[in-house]
Structure 1
């Protein structure tokens, strides 16, 4: 079972901004091939990093958030720490690349 929850723009503040600690946010779309490719990797990371909260946001349903964070392509991964963006990655990553991204920015 996945530890990744899909949230909407309404939940974003309480689930991400107000969270004390690290949060990885995956902006994705149902029609996006690379998003589907990294979905299992995102699930793996969620189980591997016990102190990391992982959530997904459907980009098609969260245009205001896309604008707020300057997201122009998906998949886009934003890493938040104490409610602030500390790192961004655009595009599909391997499991190793995603581990390195999180470790380098946490």
Structure 2
């Protein structure tokens, strides 16, 4: 599966309607972003069970602000609508594969229970 570009309008539906979404926040002027792009694209071809999405932080400044992006590239992984990974910095291919394996291997019943507990404690 190729990468898809998402916007503020398509971000929510993309997260809501897919089991695993990996989001790359990037900008064309960012050299680490440009160097990471082929790695991200290659991974998208290997993992057809994951949506690989890109957010251009220049075009989507409001979305980047709402996602608290302070450094690019920043990679975020969502599983079953829950943010389960967020890290600034470009990864190499093996590191990206490790992140994907970890996200796929999560016990989501436990993750959802932890989220519910945190929300209850916050209220």
Normalised by the length of structure 2, the TM-score is: 0.79
- Which position in structure 2 is the counterpart of 1:72? 70
Deviation at 1:74, TM superposition (A): 0.4
RMSD of aligned alpha carbons: 1.3
2:9 corresponds to 1:10 = yes
Structure with bigger RCO (C-alpha 8 Å, 6+ apart) = 1
Structure with higher strand content = 1
Point out where structure 1 has 5 or more consecutive residues left out of the alignment: none
Offset of 1:20 from its aligned partner? 3.1
Which structure 1 residue ranges, 4+ long, deviate > 6 Å from structure 2? none
Deviation of 1:58 after TM superposition, in Å, equals 0.4
- 5+ residue gaps, structure 2, are 105-123
Question: 1:1-106 to 2 correspondence within 5 Å?
Answer: 3-16=2-15, 18-106=16-104
Bigger Rg, structure 1 or 2: 2
Instruction: Kindly tell me the number of residue pairs found equivalent between the two proteins.
Output: 104
Structure with bigger helix share is: 2
